[in-house]
Amino acid sequence: MRKLRLTVILIIATSFVGLTDIYEDISSAIRNGDARRLISYIGASVDLTIGTQEAVYSKAQAEQILHEFFSKNTPKSFTILHKGSSKEGIMYAIGTLVSASGKTFRTSFYFKHSPNSNLIQELRFETE
């Protein structure tokens, strides 16, 4: 019984470590303006909002749009302000991206956590 309890605790702890890493990996990609790395967390398509422009894009289209966005708004910093999850298992984070030119973007991303993958379903960069 003690062995089973220890195994369960280790499995739970490993799950939380994985989630911490995914938040940090996505944050790091945003902080560095790395569209290629960010796009690796997107499935076949993503609901992408930049400013007032919102649409569902393929992975290839989203990469081009994010590359252009980061080129025009070189990140100076990115900080997660809040993160959590819904009853349905959707994980999310809300943060602030500050560009080198001083523009501030309220940034949020939503992804579905599963043992095999963490794919961003929605990504938003809204001007504050």
Other residues' Cβ atoms within 10 Å of the Cβ of residue 66 = 25
Euclidean distance between CA atoms 24 and 41, whole angstroms:
12
The predicted pLDDT at position 128 comes to 87
* Predicted confidence (pLDDT) per residue in 44-61, tens digit: 999 999 999 999 999 999
Res 13 pLDDT > 80: no
The predicted pLDDT at position 88 comes to 85
Q: For the chain, which residues make up each domain, given as ranges?
A: 2-127
Provide the pairing of β-strand 42-50 with 118-127.
parallel
For residues 92 and 108, the answer to whether their CB atoms sit within 8 Å is yes
For residues 122 and 110, the answer to whether their CB atoms sit within 8 Å is yes
Euclidean distance between CA atoms 27 and 33, whole angstroms:
10
DSSP helix/strand/coil, 103: coil
* Predicted confidence (pLDDT) per residue in 73-126, tens digit: 999 999 999 999 988 889 999 999 999 999 999 999 999 877 778 899 999 999
User: 2-127 maps to which CATH number?
Assistant: 3.10.450.50
pTM of the model as a whole: 0.81
For residues 114 and 93, the answer to whether their CB atoms sit within 8 Å is no
